[in-house]
Amino acid sequence: MNRTSGTRRGGAGLAGALVCSVALLLSGCGTLSTKEDRRFAEKLAEEHYPGVLEVIEARKLFPQAGGSEITFSVADDPDAVVRIRVDAEAGTCNTHACHKVLDDAVAKGRSEAARLRILTGTFKSCGYEVIGVEPSSGAPWIVASPTNATVTRVLADIGSCVRRWVEADGRTGRPAQAGGASVNLASPAVARRLPAGSRSQPTAMRLSRTPLLAALQSHPYYVASYSAPQGRIDTTGSARIVRPFEAGQKFGATVQRAVQAQLRTSHPDVQVSEYQGVWTLERGTVDRLTGYVLYCERPDGDKRCLGDRAVVVTTDVRGDPVGKARPVGKVREGRGPLRLPPL
């Protein structure tokens, strides 16, 4: 065998492996197909929950070598979703014996569906439809478009609803957010263009599907946050703007350039940190944001400036400062932890 043909065969083998890896994400490749896992899950459902559980999705757990995530709908609860990891080859669910795992997953799915009904029902009674739910935090998405003239009233209105939601959810024995809660606000224009979901999907699945959340997060949106200082939601609330990555980077760069120009009048060698932090809307506005900018009075050799000093800055929505930056002083020792005072 000559070296050229060996190289070609090696390249072809590598290409085949790459094709299989890509195909795995779409439909499985060889023994990594979801078909066997799906059949195994359907048999489990028929044995332990006949006529109740139906497999509606099987997803490969790439890069894990074995098993698939199986999603079931629940016949007598259209809001509930049940998910387990099934490995047909090993005969296990979540790496354990399947009966107990399935029982626990069904109980969890029913419990979460009940809590979802509390959430959607409470907001509906307040005049807001829940159009999405963040799966990691449980934060709902609703449609609202506050202005300078209405933002105080809108935040208080939503806050009253959040208090009712959290208190009702707390009576289930699993409080929604013990330290507070947040609500994401989509504009009416964004809400009108959302991808349509299948009404046949369970509510919990439809409200947290990836295309929906991606569409909601692809435009700037407000997050209304409510603290619970004495264990009860403060309905006043505060708000911030969340931007897609590129828009956020552009905002941060605009602020940093302007602050650096201001600081250079007293510190000619100043370096501004790339730290972005959280920018909160000034109370009673939707076009004034306040946050921190970190800086170093002079370069620190070859090290990147983390920022040991800070200023508080108020800007417009583009990132152009409104007035002068206000010094905060030392906020970090060396390259240690950051200690910023409350805004």
pLDDT digits (tens, 9 = 90+) for 84-99: 999 998 999 988 999 9
Confidence of residue 171 (pLDDT cuts 50, 70, 90): confident
Lowest mean pLDDT among 37-46, 54-63, 103-112: 54-63
What average pLDDT does this structure show over 41-52?
A: 96
Give the whole-angstrom CA distance, residue 196 versus residue 207: 11
Residue 334: its pLDDT value, please?
84
What average pLDDT does this structure show over 157-181?
A: 82
Q: Read off the pTM.
A: 0.83
Q: Which two tokens stand for residue 221?
A: 């949106």
Residue 5: its pLDDT value, please?
40
Asked whether residue 49 carries a pLDDT value surpassing 90, the answer given is yes
Closest CA to 91 of 32, 43, 28, 51: 43
Give the whole-angstrom CA distance, residue 219 versus residue 28: 34
Residue 14: its pLDDT value, please?
38
Chain centroid to CA 113:
20
Residue 95: its pLDDT value, please?
87
Asked whether residue 19 carries a pLDDT value surpassing 60, the answer given is no
Confidence of residue 8 (pLDDT cuts 50, 70, 90): very low
Contact, 143 vs 186, CB < 8 A? Answer: yes
Asked whether residue 172 carries a pLDDT value surpassing 90, the answer given is no
- Give exposure, 1-15, as e/b (b: 16+ Cβ within 10 Å): eeeeeeeeeeeeeee
What average pLDDT does this structure show over 246-264?
A: 96
Confidence of residue 119 (pLDDT cuts 50, 70, 90): very high
Q: What is the mean pLDDT of the chain?
A: 88
Asked whether residue 116 carries a pLDDT value surpassing 60, the answer given is yes
Asked whether residue 294 carries a pLDDT value surpassing 50, the answer given is yes
Q: Which residue has the higher pLDDT, 34 or 124?
A: 124
